[in-house]
Amino acid sequence: MSNPFFETWTTPFGLPPFDRIQAEHFPPAFDHGMAENIAEIAAITGNPDAPTFANTIEAMERSGRFLNRVGGVFWNLNSSNTTDALETIARDYAPKFAQHSMRIALDPALFARVADLYERRDTLDLAPDQLRLLERQHLGFVRSGALLPPDAKARMTAITERLATLHTLFGQNVLHDEKDWQLVLEESDLAGLPDFARNAAAQAAKERGQEGKYVITLARSSVEPFLTFSARRDLRQVAYEAWIRRGEHEGEHDNRPLIREIVALRTEQAKLMGYASYADFKLDDSMAKDTSAVERLLLQVWGPAKEKAAAERAELQDCARAEGMNEPIAPWDWRYYAEKVRQAKYDIDEAEVKPYFVLENMVRAAFDTAGRLFGLTFTERPDLPVYHPDVRVYEVTEKDGRHVGIFLHDNFARSSKRSGAWMSSYRDQENFDGAVSPIIVNNNNFSKGEPTLLSFDDAETLFHEFGHFLHGCLSDVRYPSQSGTSVRRDFVELPSQIYEHWLAVPETLSTYARHHQTGEPIPQDLLRRLLAARNFNQGFGTVEYTAAALLDLEFHTRSDAADTDVAAFERSVLDKIGMPAEIAVRHRPTHFQHLFAGSGYASGYYAYLWAEVLDADGFEAFLETGNPFDPDLAAKLKTIYSSGDTRDPMELYTAFRGREPRIEALLKHRGLTQSLGDA
């Protein structure tokens, strides 16, 4: 059988030949890739010459290319368009990959060469990016356990393998619940739903074999509009409870036992490394540096957010009472009455706004903003291969026509795609052994319609992920380990979050927010009301997010996690912080994929707020010039996007802003006007 991974791809720009790649191609390619990678490492450690940056660090940068290419295709397809066969391979190979990576990370001969160079780093005459690469590589070995005694190394490897399996199972369990559940509605069940929500539900029904009916799924873009507009309180409760109970069902797809084991293993891992808790271990290599700094940030907004949410709740209760509902506001009521209050306070209706936010126009807004800020041009290439008909492909060029990269845009929810929104890459930029351009993908989960209409929040999500895309696409570094988004977790959200601000620039909305039927621009009065309402319900939004970040921190600051009762622990944490009963945490533990479907955001969910301090303060610099497209500031901002991990994050930020960030802009942006000193 011909296996595309063992061939030279002749596809344009080196895109994967998606039409030829089958699930059965991955196992032999993975096996070959791991064996080849081990041979490459053996060649480095067996080199009789003394360690040099070239024969050790640069040789490591060249290693694993075949495995990385196969993995890049597999993990993207498994997230964006999975099948039972791909899920089986993911379960089978997750521990094998973990074992493979730990075999390299704990190779004593390899570490000895890296450590030798690290000790002599000041004498090697390295360029700044090389020195940082050496320092970060050395730290990576140390944090993997390279300095541990043999028995502890063996235990670290076993923990890493088991965690890889647990992370994979956790994500698959959430996807199972999202695929398995649907709320099938008749025409008589649609009271309150505007046309765009009805059309999306009809489209979802068609895709799930329920043509002629209406279906609400557990995709956020489906369930949130239903909770916002449905006049059927009984059905809102059904949808809401299914949504928050993903991963929390007895049986083979129950994530609670997985969470207990994950937290216990992470705690053990941290203690092996000499830390009191997993959070201490994880945050030691972050901008925040320690748990106290993270907790301080979160609590600075928690008080003002709760105060604002309490005022919002009182308004919602008054509204509900005026409509004849005398029961207390429940979590499945909040969005419904918040929309009514928003309509009353700002004379603005989501159903009035949404027809102006056509997906195609918002994509063009994101593209053209990147053109004005960074000189990029996007040309659709329908001739290029894709893995699903929904995917749109664009070639990205400089204004002079120089090729920059390829952008895959995958915007619609489907049962084969995990929930949420994310950026990933099929290939990272580098300039090591010749120029290699990036292939970046953005995934969203919008409800497909004719046309597809977005909420303002949806449009912000599109801009957010596009900011991540720019971080990968504008990367201009030498070494692949430093490319694009390979930065500290609490810095990686700055490029994405600051880009969101350009959606709300009045010039952007006046140009691209156009009615899907008439093509008329959004009326200036409606635009004024829309922007005035941006801080509405921010108490709710900040509470649900900050509670999730505090819950993350509590899970990972435990010194003894072996017997964690997940539900009881969640209740105790929320009781301790005074969580309002009417608001649920944004991600309950059993579907908190940031934390438990991988380790990337474990002890790091605070990063969105940390980065918001940076992005709000950073965009304030543009406002201070009076020009949101100020070319001098845009050039400085582009340096953040292009530098990858070649420089310290705070050094990059201060070079752009001229000083370190301040929290006041964040409080202003979220409408939490209580000062830092009072918080």
**Residues that are catalytic:** 465
Residue 55 DSSP code: I
Between CA 207 and CA 199 the distance in angstroms is: 12
Residue 208 DSSP code: T
Residue 598 DSSP code: -
For 99, the token pair is 């074992």
Backbone angles phi and psi of 412, in degrees to 5: -105, 145
Q: Of the candidates 407, 441, 529, 449, which has an alpha carbon nearest to the alpha carbon of residue 221? A: 449
Residue 346 DSSP code: H
Between CA 424 and CA 439 the distance in angstroms is: 9
Between CA 669 and CA 301 the distance in angstroms is: 12
DSSP, collapsed to helix, strand or coil, labels residue 644 as coil
Upper half-sphere CA count for residue 671 (Cβ side, 13 Å): 19
What 16-21 contacts at long range (C-beta under 8 Å, 24+ apart), as own/partner pairs, is 16/73, 16/385, 16/387, 16/426, 17/385, 18/385, 18/386, 18/387, 19/385, 21/73, 21/77
The DSSP element (H or E) to which 422 belongs, if any, is strand 422-427
Q: Of the candidates 245, 214, 244, 248, which has an alpha carbon nearest to the alpha carbon of residue 229? A: 214
Between CA 496 and CA 604 the distance in angstroms is: 16
* Bridge partners of residue 442, in order along the sequence: 409, 423
Backbone angles phi and psi of 322, in degrees to 5: -65, -25
The answer to whether the beta carbons of residues 47 and 55 sit under 8 Å apart is yes
What's at 671, amino acid-wise?
G
| Residues counted in the chain | 679
Alpha helices by DSSP H, 474-603:
489-500, 506-512, 524-532, 538-556, 566-577, 593-596
**499 CB contacts (<8 Å, ≥6 apart)?**
369, 463, 464, 466, 467, 470
DSSP, collapsed to helix, strand or coil, labels residue 516 as coil
Is it true that the peptide bond before 451 is cis, omega within 30 degrees of 0? Answer: yes
For the chain, helix (H) and strand (E) counts, in that order, are: 27, 7
